[in-house]
Amino acid sequence: MIEQPHEASNSILDFDFPNFPPAAVNVFPNLFSSVQCPDGSVAMMGGRIDSAWQWNIPIREGVVNVPIQQELEELQTILREVEPKADVNDMFVWSLNGCEGYEVKKYYLKLQELGDENSQILLEENRSAIQLIWNAWMPSKVKLFAWRMLKDRIPTRMQLLHRNIIEENEDCCCVLGCPVIEDVQHLFLDCGKMRTVWINIYQWLGIHVDFIVDCGNHLLKFVEKLKRFCPVKRAASLWAAVCWCAWKHRNAILFENAMDDLEDLVHKVKMYSWLWMAIGSRKRVICSFYDWYNYPLISMFV
């Protein structure tokens, strides 16, 4: 959103320019204190010559020095793209479609464009992993969680530190008790306790997946191992169930002083994955929880 100034607006130094978030008074402090009338209207900062607007910032005599000159040149460069209107009031212009009014479609397309730019640095494997998550059978909130997790955008202690929400002298270590900083890779794969959980799940399913990978690759390998037994969507939701239950387990320990009960965590993974399977398939659940609990690979064909 950009601001379209009117000639009678408040000082040109006091409004936000396109692509220039803070008010100009904060960005050009030397210039602001040197203009003849810092609170003057836009009309006092220029004039029309043959109907074309020309900016002319009036500086007090005898005060021009190098910093002021530099700030003035910088401001004039920005102002080249700004022309006050004499016949319309101040208004905001939605810059994506160049007219008044917000359009969801334009915003969506812009986000996609930005996404494409970002995706150039997103590894191909991670893109495939995210695609799996979006198509898997699980509640939307879990999809959102898994998507954020794969993009390292969940509030682990590492992320909170990175965003200055917690400080280095605060506890940044793994909530499950390791003397290691808690990031996504540690919390869901490298942590000794999480490995115990994964190994329990592997034993339950009768598979093994390497740990020496990142989370996205782990999901791909996990699905690869299971895809001859069940639809890919079901395998991906099973993987997400482990991560979702681990995250809830970690939060319960941190915020509710819950017990660090790994057996209970494994049990919840089995329960949630069964529930999501039942809901996602949009059919009556044919296999009982007992069958799922005891013979998951046979039940997966159901």
Per CB under 5 A, residues contacting Zn ion are 174, 176, 178, 191
Of residues 176 and 265, the one with the C-beta less far from Zn ion: 176
Least distance (Å) between residue 300 CB and Zn ion: 30
Q: Which of 185, 184, 207, 199 is nearest to 263 (CA)?
A: 199
Least distance (Å) between residue 186 CB and Zn ion: 6
CB 280 within 8 A of CB 249: no
Beta bridge partners of 35: 59
Residue 54's φ and ψ, nearest 5 degrees, are: -125, 125
Beta bridge partners of 46: 55
Q: Which residues of 37-51 are buried (b: 16+ CB within 10 A; e: fewer)?
A: eeebbbbbbbeeeee
Of residues 191 and 209, the one with the C-beta less far from Zn ion: 191
Of residues 150 and 184, the one with the C-beta less far from Zn ion: 184
Least distance (Å) between residue 193 CB and Zn ion: 6
CB 209 within 8 A of CB 222: yes
Q: Which of 5, 1, 14 is nearest to 91 (CA)?
A: 5
Report how far residue 197's alpha carbon sits from residue 187's, in angstroms, rounded to the nearest whole number. Answer: 12
Least distance (Å) between residue 152 CB and Zn ion: 17
Angle between helices 124-135 and 215-226 (to 10 degrees): 60
Least distance (Å) between residue 138 CB and Zn ion: 25
Least distance (Å) between residue 195 CB and Zn ion: 9
Of residues 174 and 246, the one with the C-beta less far from Zn ion: 174
Of residues 75 and 201, the one with the C-beta less far from Zn ion: 201
Of residues 24 and 174, the one with the C-beta less far from Zn ion: 174
